[in-house]
């Protein structure tokens, strides 16, 4: 197995990332995330929830959360887990859409759900976790899905005001590849694929006009509002589902108590993260509106409905991409109908 960016020395150094801050647990799992080091989400989990797992397991198990690409490129975490370079990941399912369109539908049913809470219910109670495990068994054997969920609807950041669907036409928008990009194309925009670390510079230099990027609080922490002064909140597009996985061998080595603790910890941590970001996002929006330096745009429901109708066309098209994509699509639609969303 070859990884593209890190030599042996750099790999060893990366695996020791943050060793001075590591927990004192008997075993500490190295988990690479999709968060930049400056993300508010990473800071929140490190401060409020990482210590709790050690307490829940009596000091036998802990987690160290590593920033994106600190060990391997963001699309290579499943392979790294499979060969033991990483113990697990807490990262975007969308990163693996190039492997199977099922990952795109599983990772974000663009403009489908109204809230992160609904997505958490789909993962925990609507068959989402089991569907994700089926995808991994098919494409990345040796990876165990602990859970999946979302914590925030991404806030769209833009250097120009976008008041509705028509405003997307011709706009150069940073977007994940696959389904997300397809929806923007159908709306007349020009999607551009790039990592989150490149967004600030691209907005500042005019390489892109806007970005479907992250939670409002994360965008604030990363300084995006300094160069993109027309955010849309609540977001119109993405509510990414993140996966929490560990290597199957790692999972098998845990005691039953540790397995239960890890699953319970993840559900509680992500529920806390969702509540924290909902409150934090709204506090920051109120602050920015009062300061008057940003124009925070909230699309009317009619425009949101127009955009969702465009997205539904893309869902159906992606569902035809593979047998597993059709299964993921059916799982979403079944849950959404039961929940009264369709």
* Distance between CA atoms of residues 110 and 182, nearest Å: 10
What does the pLDDT look like over 33-85, one tens digit per residue?
A: 998 888 888 999 999 999 999 999 999 999 999 999 999 999 999 999 999 99
- How high is the pLDDT of residue 89? 98
Q: How many structural domains comprise the chain?
A: 2
> In terms of Cα–Cα distance, which of 209, 204, 138 is closest to 173?
209
Q: Do 136 and 85 belong together in one domain?
A: yes
What is the CA 167 to chain-centroid distance, rounded? Answer: 26
State phi, psi for 150 to the nearest 5 degrees: -130, 155
Relative to beta strand 88-92, strand 210-214 is unpaired
Q: Do 229 and 334 belong together in one domain?
A: yes
Q: Do 214 and 140 belong together in one domain?
A: no
pTM here?
0.81
> Which pair of tokens denotes residue 332?
């979403």
Q: Do 222 and 269 belong together in one domain?
A: no
What does the pLDDT look like over 232-258, one tens digit per residue?
A: 999 998 888 999 999 999 999 999 999
Give me the domain span that covers residue 303. 155-237+291-338
Q: Establish whether the linkage from the previous residue to 234 is cis, with ω within 30° of 0.
A: yes
* Distance between CA atoms of residues 134 and 281, nearest Å: 34
Q: Do 103 and 26 belong together in one domain?
A: yes
- In degrees, rounded to 5, the angle at the alpha carbon of residue 205 between the alpha carbons of residues 203 and 210 is 20
């Amino acid at each position: 197995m070859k990884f593209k960016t890190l030599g042996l020395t750099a790999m060893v150094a990366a695996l020791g990332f943050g060793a001075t801050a590591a927990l004192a647990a008997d075993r500490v799992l190295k988990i690479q995330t999709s968060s930049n080091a400056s993300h508010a989400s990473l800071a929140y989990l490190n401060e409020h929830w990482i210590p709790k797992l050690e307490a829940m397991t009596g000091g036998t198990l802990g987690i160290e959360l590593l920033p994106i690409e600190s060990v391997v490129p963001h699309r290579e975490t499943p392979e790294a887990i499979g060969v033991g370079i990483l113990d697990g990941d807490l990262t975007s399912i969308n990163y693996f859409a190039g492997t199977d369109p099922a990952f795109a539908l599983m990772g974000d049913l663009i403009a489908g759900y109204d809230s992160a809470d609904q997505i958490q219910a789909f993962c925990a109670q609507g068959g989402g976790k089991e569907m994700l495990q089926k995808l991994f068994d098919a494409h990345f054997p040796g990876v165990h899905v602990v859970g999946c969920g979302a914590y925030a609807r991404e806030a769209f950041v833009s250097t120009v005001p976008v008041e509705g669907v028509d405003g997307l036409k011709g706009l150069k928008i940073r977007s994940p590849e696959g389904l997300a990009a397809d929806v923007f194309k159908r709306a007349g925009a020009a999607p551009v694929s790039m990592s989150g670390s490149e967004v600030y510079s691209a907005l500042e230099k005019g390489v892109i006009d806007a970005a479907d990027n992250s939670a409002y609080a994360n965008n604030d922490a990363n300084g995006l509002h300094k160069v993109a002064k027309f955010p849309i909140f609540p977001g119109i597009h993405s509510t990414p589902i993140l996966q929490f996985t560990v290597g199957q061998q790692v999972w098998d080595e845990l005691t039953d108590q540790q397995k239960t603790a890890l699953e319970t910890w993840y559900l509680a941590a992500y529920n806390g993260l969702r509540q924290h970001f909902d409150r934090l996002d709204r506090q920051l929006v109120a602050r920015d509106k009062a300061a008057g330096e940003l124009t925070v745009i909230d699309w009317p429901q009619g425009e949101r409905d127009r955009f969702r109708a465009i997205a539904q066309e893309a869902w159906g098209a992606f569902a035809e991409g593979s047998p597993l994509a059709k299964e993921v699509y059916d799982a979403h639609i079944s849950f959404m109908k039961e929940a009264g969303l369709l």
